[in-house]
Structure 1
Amino acid sequence: MDHEQTYDRRPRRRGRKLLIGFVVLLLVLVGLVVIADRVAASVAERRIADEVRQQVARQQAQSSPPEVEVGGFPFLTQVVDGRYERITIRMRDVQGAVQGDAISLPSLDVDARNVRASLDTLRTGQGDVVAETVNGTATISYQSLAALLDREGLTLGERNGQLAVTAPLEVLGQRLTVTGVADIVVSDEGQIALRFADLDAEGLPSAPLARTLLNNFARSISVDVPLPELPFQLTVREVLPQPQGLTVTADARDVPINSVG
């Protein structure tokens, strides 16, 4: 009887070992596919970064080396399909060639969705890589804006969701502290303007001349912000004061993120 029981267990143990071996082999193969997928994605990210660098240079702009991340998994199926879910591009210290002073952008994050690039384009470098939508977010530091206004002692910051100013001003022999907020105007062409119209100063003399001097000061610090030309045909849509600086939101549609072909 014992001999029969031992004989019955052996096939089960052998079958269990085969199953475990198959599972291990399957996991190894999946791991290799994942590694190959990530390697291919890394190669694509480097290639796109090179294209972005050339595109930025063609627009007479400059930035630190762009960082690129290709989203979506698996990557290789996107390659075969020729359509990529998402490509994120991060650039730092963006500056452009404009007349006069220019505000540099310490950061510019670009999110491209539904990017079309055929396998032949990736292989030969001939053809277009086109994003259906591109959204960009940039930050302008308050220090750089204050430097543009060029008023000693003037500081800018966010207060209750508005762009606030504080500055010393001499009015009729008195040194006062001016405070107030600015209206931020974005034109249809994506140009940004700061308009200071609501300024006040504690202890301001009641003489009409004092109010005139304050209004003149408000006009003198109301300026157009000379942004560098943004890459990827981005057009500014909204500007919001945030604690870390002015957050600029821009977008574009059907954008070639390379200029090959």
Structure 2
Amino acid sequence: MVGVRKLIFGLVVLLGLAVLADFGAAAWSEYRVSRALREGGVLESDPAVTIHGFPFLLQARDGHYENVEIVADNVHTDLLGDITVEANLIGAHAEAGELLDGSIRSVPVDLLYGRVMLDATALGVGTALRTRSGKLRTTGAGASAGTHELHPALATAGVGDGVPVVLHFSAPWCGPCAAVRRVVVQVLDRDPGRAREVELDLDENPVLARKLGVLSLPTTFVFDGEGRERFRASGVPSVDDLRTALSSL
């Protein structure tokens, strides 16, 4: 009987250690993903990340996770102020090594649920969202030559070489980005030589996107010939607005 009890006790201890190891690995992975999201999303604090499903280590082995829940508070937006973003990644696919070392940059998912929560004081702003989406806003018009720092990636793209540039970020999964292309082509074709178009893939230029404060797609910038940002728009700008912005340079 004593031997059986010892055996049972040993099995219980091993099971407990296995559970602790599983939860420890999950907690570390959640922390690393949270840090990567904060750095990649230019967030003020670490979002809460919960990897549901047990055991975690079997999910990590297969590179397939049942449900990853993400909650980011105090996400700043130009139109609605600070908001809370919640997302559930159902059937997320990621290598275990990327989760553990925080090197993960993109996650294919089978299904994505998300919602945005607004502060009550932002509801009045939300009513104007439709009219303001795509509106070109003046930015940095007062900056003088020599007081701004041109990012190397912008210089490589031809920004700041004496010709105004309409730069817009896009991605293969961004439907409205095609509308931005049509607007830009329509404006520039009507007045050849006034400005040049530069389109950058968001997934291929994450550092520059963070530097410029790109929070959504499509996002369009208008730079003057000296490389100063003069206008920006979140959404699809109108032909008239873009033409007016370029005529002021």
Q: Which has the larger radius of gyration?
A: 1
By percentage of residues, which structure has more helix?
A: 2
Question: TM-score band (shorter)?
Answer: 0.3 to 0.5
Question: TM-score, normalising length from structure 2?
Answer: 0.48
Higher strand share: 1
Q: TM-score, normalised on structure 1?
A: 0.46
